[in-house]
């Protein structure tokens, strides 16, 4: 099960984030998933398929060339931890301010709980403060 869950996480980052294939979200994310560490417009954790679709569209819109490299994965039971490196260029006006055209590079960790072959809950710890500094915010 651990290897299958690790493969799901690698697929998540490769297809959903790197390739921007939003249709894969419905296949890999549970309908009622809660994504801690990512917030919606009201500052609450991203919740459910539509909430994640909205977040994904906004973030990929701001960074259309975004690449998230999975550097390491550790799995035990229904939990997978992925240590990641993120890079991209802020070329879209989707974060509430004009594109800066600045490159960004930062790291993070995603901890996910897999249930019935889908991500049911996630805790994201990405260095968005470093990203914001690189954008001049």
Instruction: Write out pLDDT tens, residues 70-87.
Output: 999 999 999 999 999 999
Q: What is the pLDDT of residue 17?
A: 98
Q: Could you tell me the residue range of the domain that residue 63 belongs to?
A: 2-135
- Tens-place pLDDT, residues 25-38: 999 999 999 999 99
For every residue of 55-120, DSSP letters joined together read: HHHHHHHH-TT-EEEEEEEEEETTEEEEEEEEEEE--SS-SSS-----EEEEEEEEEEEEETTEEE
What does pLDDT average to over the chain? 96
Give 136's pLDDT tier (boundaries 50, 70, 90): very high
Q: What is the CATH number of the domain that holds 20?
A: 3.10.450.50
- Tens-place pLDDT, residues 36-64: 999 988 889 999 999 999 999 999 999 99
Model confidence at 1: pLDDT above 80: no
Eight-state DSSP code of residue 44: S
Which H or E element spans position 26? helix 23-28
Using DSSP's 3-state secondary structure scheme, residue 134 falls into helix
Structure-block tokens of residue 63:
């960074």
Domain count, the chain: 1
């Amino acid at each position: 099960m651990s290897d299958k869950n690790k493969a799901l996480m690698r697929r998540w980052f490769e297809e959903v984030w790197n390739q921007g294939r939003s249709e894969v979200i419905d296949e890999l994310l549970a309908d009622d998933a809660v994504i801690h560490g990512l917030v919606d417009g009201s500052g609450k954790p991203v919740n459910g398929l539509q909430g994640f679709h909205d977040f994904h569209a906004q973030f990929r819109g701001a960074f259309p060339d975004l690449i998230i490299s999975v550097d390491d994965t550790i799995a035990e039971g229904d939990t997978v931890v992925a240590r990641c490196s993120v890079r991209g260029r802020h070329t879209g006006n989707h974060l509430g301010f004009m594109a800066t055209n600045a490159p960004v590079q930062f790291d993070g960790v995603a901890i996910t709980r897999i249930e019935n072959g889908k991500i049911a809950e996630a805790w994201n710890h990405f260095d968005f403060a470093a990203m914001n500094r690189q954008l001049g915010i």
